[in-house]
Amino acid sequence: MTTYIDLDVRPLLRDGGEPFEQIMAAVAALQPDQGLRLFATFKPTPLLNMLGSRGFTHEATEIGGGDWEVLFSPAVTESVAVASVADANTDVDTEEWPEPSVKLDNRDLDPPEPMVRILAALESMPTGEVLSALLCREPVFLLPELSKRGHRWRGGFEADGATYSIMVRVGSNLENPK
């Protein structure tokens, strides 16, 4: 049975704050049998997708006045629920990848610039080539874009805990086939 930890980010949102780090910290602290009950001033659609890729199901309900309650529950496979977003894309990929032909260090850039630079570089690379990039945070909005565009990726935090390293293997562009 899932027990829920409550997190109300409505006051922070109403004050113009950004609750993403607070939400991710709460998710990271969840035990395998715990879920998150999130209260927000809007339906957090990008968060639904992002936590879905981390192994959570969701149930979103408008509770009045434009406010929403979202229950994030661990999926049936608990090991997926605690895995990183990067693991969701790499768990079946055991193929050896070539050395990166493009290397980017985006650690000093503010969002969304790292994502923009990575996607732009990938557009000019042939299928099968690999791009590597260093980032100062987990690229939660980039990862679904990579998958949507037909690219594969591997990534995770380095031992320092401050640098996120990602490798992207160029695939066929599913949105605009050539």
Q: Where are the beta strands (DSSP E) in 23-110?
A: 34-40, 56-64, 67-74, 102-105
Query: Which amino acid, one-letter code, is at 42?
Result: F
Rounded average pLDDT over 107-124: 93
Q: Is the pLDDT of residue 77 over 80?
A: no
Quick one: pLDDT band at residue 102, thresholds 50, 70, 90? very high
Q: What is the mean pLDDT of the chain?
A: 82
Per-residue pLDDT of 22-33, as tens digits, reads 998 898 888 888
- What pLDDT, on the 0 to 100 scale, is given for residue 140? 83
Distance, in Å, from the CA atom of 83 to the CA atom of 63, rounded to the nearest integer, reads 30
Burial 7-35 (b: 16+ CB within 10 A, else e): bebbeebeeeeebeeebbebbeebeeebb
**C-alpha torsion angle, residues 44, 18, 138, 52 (rounded to 10):** -20
Q: What are phi and psi of 172, to 5 degrees?
A: -75, 140
**Tokens representing residue 49 in the block:** 């997708």
Query: Would you tell me how many other CB atoms lie within 10 Å of the CB of residue 51?
Result: 24
Residue 99, CA distances (Å) to 9, 115, 167 in order: 43, 21, 10
57: β partners: 73
Domains plus CATH for the chain? 3-82 (3.30.110.40), 87-169 (3.30.110.40)
Q: Higher pLDDT residue, 52 or 174?
A: 52
Q: Is the pLDDT of residue 94 over 70?
A: no
Per-residue pLDDT of 133-160, as tens digits, reads 999 988 888 988 898 899 998 988 777 7
